[in-house]
Amino acid sequence: MALQRLRKSVVLALAAIAFAVALVVLLVGPWPAYSSRGPTLRKLAAAGERIKVAPFSPSLPASTHRPLRAGWASRVITPFAPVPLFGYAARQGHNSTGVMQDLRVRAVAVGDGVKTVLLIGADLLVIPPNLSNPVRAQIRAATGLDEAAILFSATHTHSAPNPWDNLAARHFAGGAYVEEVGQILRTAFVEAALTAIEDMEPAGIARGRFDAAEFVRNRAREGNSVDSRFEYLVFRKADGKRCYVLNFSAHATVLGPDNLLISGDYPGYLQGYLEQTWGVTALFQCGASGNAAPEPPVPAEAHLELVRTAMGRIPDGSPARTVLLQAPEALEVHARAAALGQALAERVQKGDAGLVFADLAPISYLGTRVPLPPYQIRFRLGWRFSPLLLPLLGVDSTGWIQAVRIGDTVLIGLPVEPSSELGKTWKDSFTSKDLSLWFCSFSSDYRGYVSPDIYYRAVAPDGSLPYETGLMSWCGPDAAQYFGTITRWLVRLMAPEAVLPDIPESPGLPPAPNRPATPPDTP
C-alpha cells in the first residue's frame, strides 16, 4: 500500500513537472523561429483590407483649395517628483535625481477650411496606446475631429518618465510606469491640442531641408548609409508668429544610462534654442531612427555655461549636483547634447532666408489599426520566445498606421522604429523632388525595430544575434517588406498625383488598396 502511494505521488509529481515545463514552453519558449514569407504576406493582405475601409479624407482638388489656417500651443509635462526614467534597461528602474530641462508637449493644428489635422509631439521616448487612445477620444469628443487626423510623435529622449503601462515596456527600457505621470500627460496633451485648435488663424506654409550627415552615423553597421536629411515645415501667421515642425533620424541618446536627470536630450536643446532666441514654437519629431546614433560636436564654453545655468534647478548639496560639480565628464555630456541641439537650430535659422511661403496647401489623412506579422523575438538563430509572450505582457497583435499630408509633405506614423537605412531607402523610392516623406516612429504604439530584411539572419562571431535584428526585432523576417509596402500604399493614397520612381513590385505581394481620389462631397 505504501509503495503504491509512493508510486502515485511520483507519477503526480512528474506530471506536474511535465505540465509546468509544457506551460513554460507554451507561454515563454523556446519555439522554432519561422522563416517563411507566408505569415507576413497574409497579414499584409489583411492590412490592405483594413486600409480600404479606414477613415480617409483625401485632399480637395486644387481648384477648390481654401486658405490655410494654423495654430499651435505647448504645455509642460515635467513630473513634480522623482520618477523612474525610461529608455535604458541598464538604469534598473532608478528614480530621477533632478531636472536639467523641462519636458513639453507641443501641438500644431493645420486646416484648409474644410478639414483639420493635428500634430502632437512630446519629449518622451514613445507614444503608447494607453496615452494616444484616450487623448484622441477626448479631442474627438470636444471638437468632432476625426481620430485619424491626429498624428502623434515623440522626440525619443531616453531621459523622461515612462508613459507606457505594460510589463513589456519595463523589461525592454527600464523604469516603472507611474499613474500620476500618466494623468499629467493625458491632461497636458489634451490642453495643448485644444488650445492649438482655438489658436488657428490664416497662415502661410514653407518647407526646408538640409543634409546633416556630420551629426548622425550608422551605429549598427559602421559606414553604411543613414537618413541624414533634416527636414522641417514652417507656419507663419499674419502677425509674424511662427511655428517650426522638425524631423530628423538621430537617436536622442547623447545622454546615456548613467544620466538620472530629466532632460529632452539634444531635441530638447534644439527646440529650446529656437524658442528662446526667436520666440517661436518648435516641435521635434524623431524620424526613422533605428541604428541612427547622434554625433554631437565638441561643446564650447558657452554650452558648458548653459548647463551650469540649468543646474540652478538642482538643489545644493544633492547627489546629482555633486556629481556634476565633481565629475567633468558628467557635465560635458549635457553640454554635448546642448551643442548638437544648437548646431541643428543654427542650420535651421541659416536656411530661413530661402523659405518660400504658400497660402494654399492640400490636406489629407488616413489612419487605422492593422494586423501585424506574427511576433518573433529571437534569442538565437532559429529559436524564438513564444509568440504568446508579448500579448501576455500587454502588447496586442495589431499596430496603428497613419498618414497625414500637409502641402507637399507626407508624414507616415508607424508603430515601429524603422532603421535609418530603411528610412533613406523608402524616401528615395517613394518620393519625388516635389514631395517630401517623413516618418514618425513609435507613433501611438511600439512594436520593436525594423531593419533591412537582408540583415535578419546575420549573427555575431560568437553565434549571438545583434540587438536590433534579434531581441528588438519583433515582427519577423519580412517586416521591412511589410512596412515598406504599407508606406508605399499610404503615399499613393495621400498624393495620387505625384510622379514617383518606377520600382518593380516584389512577387507575391497583395494588390494595393484603392480609395476614391476625391471626396464625394467635394464642393
Instruction: Write the DSSP assignment of 133-192 as a string of letters.
Output: HHHHHHHHHHH---GGGEEEEE---SSEE----SHHHHHHH-----HHHHHHHHHHHHHH
Q: pLDDT band at 521, cuts 50/70/90?
A: very low
Residue type at position 331: L
pLDDT range class, residue 113, cuts 50, 70, 90 = confident
Q: Is the pLDDT of residue 24 over 90?
A: no
pLDDT digits (tens, 9 = 90+) for 76-106: 999 988 999 999 999 988 999 999 999 999 9
For residue range 333-347, what is the model confidence (pLDDT) as tens digits?
999 999 999 999 999
With b for 16 or more beta-carbon neighbours within 10 A and e for fewer, the 205-222 pattern comes to: bbbbeeebeebbbbbbbe
Q: Decide if 334 contacts 307 (C-beta within 8 A).
A: yes
- CB neighbours (10 Å) of residue 23? 10
List pLDDT tens digits, range 256-309: 999 999 999 999 999 999 999 999 999 999 999 999 999 999 999 999 999 998
pLDDT band at 149 (very low <50, low <70, confident <90, very high): very high
Q: Are 108 and 196 in contact (CB under 8 A)?
A: yes
Decide if pLDDT at 517 tops 80: no
Say if CB 383 and CB 30 are below 8 A apart: yes
Listing from the earlier edge strand, what are the strands of the sheet with 383-384? 31-32, 383-384, 378-380
pLDDT > 60? residue 466? yes
Which H helix or E strand runs over 208?
strand 201-211
Alpha helices in 218-282, H assignment, sequence order: 265-278
Per-residue pLDDT, averaged over 356-381, amounts to 94
Distances (CA, A) of 2 to 5, 9, 13, 14: 5, 10, 16, 18
Query: What confidence tier does 22 reach under pLDDT thresholds 50, 70, 90?
Result: low
Cα angle 24, 29, 30; round to 5: 135
pLDDT for 116 equals 96
Neighbouring residues of 37: CB distance < 8 A, sequence distance ≥ 6? 477, 478, 508
pLDDT digits (tens, 9 = 90+) for 42-59: 999 999 999 999 999 998
Q: Is the pLDDT of residue 423 over 90?
A: yes
Strand-pairing partners, residue 364, are 405
Report the pLDDT value the prediction gives residue 518, as an integer from 0 to 100: 53
Phi, psi of 132 (to 5 degrees): -70, -40
Residue with grid cell 528610412, as numbered in its chain: 423
* Contact criterion met (CB below 8 Å) for 438 and 287: yes
Q: If you average pLDDT over residues 70-76, what whole number do you get?
A: 98
Least confident of 97-101, 229-233, 252-256, 516-520: 516-520
- Average pLDDT for 314-324: 81
Question: Average pLDDT of 231-259?
Answer: 97
110 vs 87: CA distance, rounded Å: 31
Residue 222 clears pLDDT 90, i.e. is over it: no
Check residue 274 and give left, alpha or beta (phi > 0: left; psi -120 to 50: alpha).
alpha
Q: What is the pLDDT of residue 388?
A: 84
CA dist 227 and 252 (Å) reads 15
pLDDT higher than threshold 60 for residue 214: yes
SS3 (DSSP) at 125: coil
Would you place residue 161 in the very low, low, confident or very high pLDDT band (cuts 50, 70, 90)? very high
Bridge pairing between strands 378-380 and 69-76: unpaired
DSSP state, residue 514: P
Note the pLDDT of residue 19.
56
Residue type, 96: S
Q: Which of 201, 202, 196 is closest to 359 using CA atoms? A: 202
Could you tell me if 120 and 109 are in contact, meaning their C-beta atoms sit under 8 angstroms apart? no
pLDDT for 23 equals 52
Residue type, 115: K
Q: For residues 161 and 84, is the Cβ–Cβ distance under 8 A?
A: yes
Q: How far lies 75's CA from each of 27, 116, 178, 317, 473, in Å?
A: 42, 21, 19, 30, 34
420-442 average pLDDT score: 91
Q: CA–CA separation, 402 vs 408, rounded Å? A: 17
What are the start-end ranges of the E strands in 229-380?
A: 229-237, 242-248, 261-262, 281-286, 292-294, 363-371, 378-380
Distance CA 344, CA 86 (A): 25
**204 pLDDT more than 60:** yes
> Comparing 10-19, 27-36, 181-190, 260-269, which segment has the lowest mean pLDDT?
10-19
* Least trusted range by pLDDT, from 8-12, 214-218, 281-285: 8-12
Other C-beta atoms closer than 10 Å to the C-beta of 61 total 14
Which of these ranges, 227-236, 305-314, 503-512, has the smallest mean pLDDT?
A: 503-512
Average pLDDT score, the chain: 90
- Name residues whose C-beta falls within 8 Å of residue 312's C-beta, 6 or more positions apart in sequence: none
pLDDT of residue 96: 94
Q: Which CA distances in Å does 465 have to 110, 418, 423, 471, 472?
A: 44, 18, 22, 8, 10
* pLDDT for residue 520: 42
Report pTM: 0.93
Amino acid 136: pLDDT:
98
Helix (H), strand (E) at residue 418: strand 417-418
What confidence category does residue 501 fall into, taking pLDDT thresholds of 50, 70 and 90?
Answer: confident
The yes-or-no verdict on residue 449 having pLDDT over 50 is yes
Between 313 and 348, the more confident residue is 348
Beta-bridge partner residues of 169: none
